[in-house]
Structure 1
């Protein structure tokens, strides 16, 4: 079937990671641009595979190139609502190709080609041929298929605009429905090759973490393939409507996470937050010093007020872990009326990157829009606290009085040799802290919050 492809094509390669040491080139990703799109057409030239731009043989080792995949399909039983369902399988099927790594989705894709694949003679044309065969195997209703792969920057830029317009049409359709309007939610296991204990719960008000699959997409996927990675969950009894906890959701998560996770709050980062895979578009993170929540998205290159970038934060909570105070989420969920409703919604959000804020500005209550800081306003906890005071952010009503007092003492730069500030100040919060121990063991503290009886500020 794949005799003319110089590398193996098999599900056994799904989950393969290509590290920098054995990477030939990187495609799209955080330092370039890219997108993927599946579109249903009336007629398609079956079997056509085209590469626009440099092929693997024309690329330089260690370089980063723009990258896009456009798949056009036709068939009498295909409908437009199936596009995003089939499109999301690009992640899985691309990873069947040995020496090719595909991460994320939509306009966030990040791919790599290994040096071993290059040495074996692998080309992007081979990827297109493999996808043509795999898609027809996975979806027999596809009668004809063509694949266009782009590495030319101008072509990718033009395609990116088209793809984003299509994404917005799909997303806006799903906003018309709420959790209360349906009796069925959906679970998705598509990311378990990378996050074995992760179970993504998709409801009308909570798009999948990847941002690529909404409730309508799941419904279509389940109808098309009841035995596939997307399954039905009868909503059943509601345990807590504010937090978004459901009896049947808990049971489904426990069963499909091998018992690793037993409870899930769909609309909170505290207690039992939704597990995170690795394809999420953003991370919500708790800032204990201010009792507020920050959001950082995958595109942001700088550091958060906690002093760490998206990549480090994502590493803390990805892989299917349930980490209190951290939760992966989709950007579309930030447009939901139930967005972190148990935590206060946008009245609890105190920081996010400027570009992200602008993209969801219409969904932020008008009286809060200028009270949420960005990297332009604050890059540290101290600067963030000052900004929130100036703007009179409602989160200050929640902030512990001890923390406020500690900041005042710090700003006054007391001349005392040693100045005891207060008791019970939250010094550090971390999803995981590793401590050395005798005998070759490690002590790991999960979801640790460390408090100090006394903080002493010394003048050097």
Structure 2
């Protein structure tokens, strides 16, 4: 329907109608209902009769939501005891390729679709009903990396469906060959190099995260069907997966998420880490987040110490061949030093807190098709 936008993630629905469409007569749900029923009947010819019911009363919606959520919970529960290694077939979805042409959404028992609407059973049903449709079977093939979740069959489909843009995808990796992100994802994960942790923010959280960016800011950098090291879009139910970012530490690498999101998945967070994951009630910037992680003895704090000790040991083992160059004094506004991300390929740009495309002041660096290794960066302040 011209002038109508409809996006949905299960029971989260977003509709926008243009003023031009209203002026041309789109002033009721009837045309939308007729178009929807026509599409269903065309796709699934065994349907003989349909009825479309639209509920706009807020109180009635709130009353029905628990029943609707219970249905989805029951569907999701079916996959809890089924894992990637238990099946020979995964399922792909290309519905989002209209706006993310290189995106390849791979749905497995341990990884729900990015939009959260399709689990492994849903993908199987859709592929059987319409074998030529946007959901299709993927023979997973030989397992290359059981921890990261890399399979020959998935790589082959990735290369074919992404128009050759990508040839490797690790389903349970945040840094190395991560899953592509379309734009419909429910949650975006972002790496905080200053603290060497991964944080998560969902669409319902409007305030800036501790890195100074909002969900909208990061979604723009993450989406489009790209593999973006340092950012990752996921569906909420992936938090419940035992393989949740397994290649990069799982929950032990998570340091922050909005309280409502944490509360939603709290039963699936390991008990020994749940209190060490901050929310906006505990930290709103990097300083307060670092203090919280130290206070709660987050596992990453021990990693900081280990890496610092390794640096000192490595520095002591080297014999200088020339006098060391003087180190300039810290400059206000300089980018803070960051811990290298374990498993992150060399030369990949890293997200830095407070820096976003188009931000005013400071410096602007644009790198295209570049792979750069930098051993040292010195920023000096010149007197006017």
TM, length-normalised to structure 1? 0.69
For residue 243 of structure 1, what is the aligned residue in structure 2? Answer: 148
Is 2:23 the partner of 1:99? Answer: no
Is 2:246 the partner of 1:322? Answer: no
Measure how far apart 1:278 and its partner are. 1.3
Measure how far apart 1:306 and its partner are. 0.7
Structure 1 contact 186–203 (Cα < 8 Å) conserved = yes
Choose the corresponding residue for 1:108, options 7, 12, 23. Answer: 12
Question: Using the alignment, how far apart are the partners of 1:426 and 1:455 within structure 2?
Answer: 15
For residue 109 of structure 2, what is the aligned residue in structure 1? Answer: 204
Q: Deviations over 1:215-269 (max 9, x none)?
A: 1111111111111111111111111111111111011011011111211110111
Measure how far apart 1:107 and its partner are. 2.4
Is 2:337 the partner of 1:425? Answer: yes
Give the stretch that moved more between structures: 222-231 or 370-379. Answer: 222-231
How many residue pairs match? The answer is 343
Is 2:37 the partner of 1:132? Answer: yes
Choose the corresponding residue for 2:93, options 182, 188, 203. Answer: 188
Measure how far apart 1:393 and its partner are. 0.4
Is 2:65 the partner of 1:143? Answer: no
Question: Using the alignment, how far apart are the partners of 2:282 and 2:69 within structure 1?
Answer: 29
Measure how far apart 1:434 and its partner are. 8.7
For residue 283 of structure 1, what is the aligned residue in structure 2? Answer: 188
Choose the corresponding residue for 2:368, options 444, 447, 451. Answer: 444
For residue 309 of structure 1, what is the aligned residue in structure 2? Answer: 214
For residue 344 of structure 1, what is the aligned residue in structure 2? Answer: 249
Classify the secondary structure of the residue corresponding to 1:175: coil
Classify the secondary structure of the residue corresponding to 1:366: coil
For residue 129 of structure 2, what is the aligned residue in structure 1? Answer: 224
For residue 71 of structure 1, what is the aligned residue in structure 2? Answer: none
For residue 325 of structure 2, what is the aligned residue in structure 1? Answer: none
Q: Residue 321 and residue 425 in structure 1: after superposition, are their counterparts in 2 closer, same or farther (change >3 A)?
A: same
Structure 1 contact 185–215 (Cα < 8 Å) conserved = yes
Structure 2, unmatched stretches of 5+, are 313-327, 340-348, 360-365
For residue 54 of structure 1, what is the aligned residue in structure 2? Answer: none
Classify the secondary structure of the residue corresponding to 1:385: helix
TM, length-normalised to structure 2? 0.83
Q: Deviations over 1:377-431 (max 9, x none)?
A: 00111110000000110011223539x99xxxxxxxxxxxx84499992399339
Question: Using the alignment, how far apart are the partners of 1:215 and 1:195 within structure 2?
Answer: 22
Structure 2 contact 194–336 (Cα < 8 Å) conserved = no
**Structure number having the greater strand percentage:** 1
Question: Using the alignment, how far apart are the partners of 1:117 and 1:111 within structure 2?
Answer: 13
Alignment of 1:65-84 (within 5 A): none
For residue 271 of structure 2, what is the aligned residue in structure 1? Answer: 366
Structure 1 contact 426–451 (Cα < 8 Å) conserved = no
For residue 346 of structure 2, what is the aligned residue in structure 1? Answer: none
Measure how far apart 1:340 and its partner are. 0.4
Is 2:21 the partner of 1:117? Answer: yes
Structure 2 contact 188–219 (Cα < 8 Å) conserved = yes
Choose the corresponding residue for 1:156, options 61, 68, 71. Answer: 61
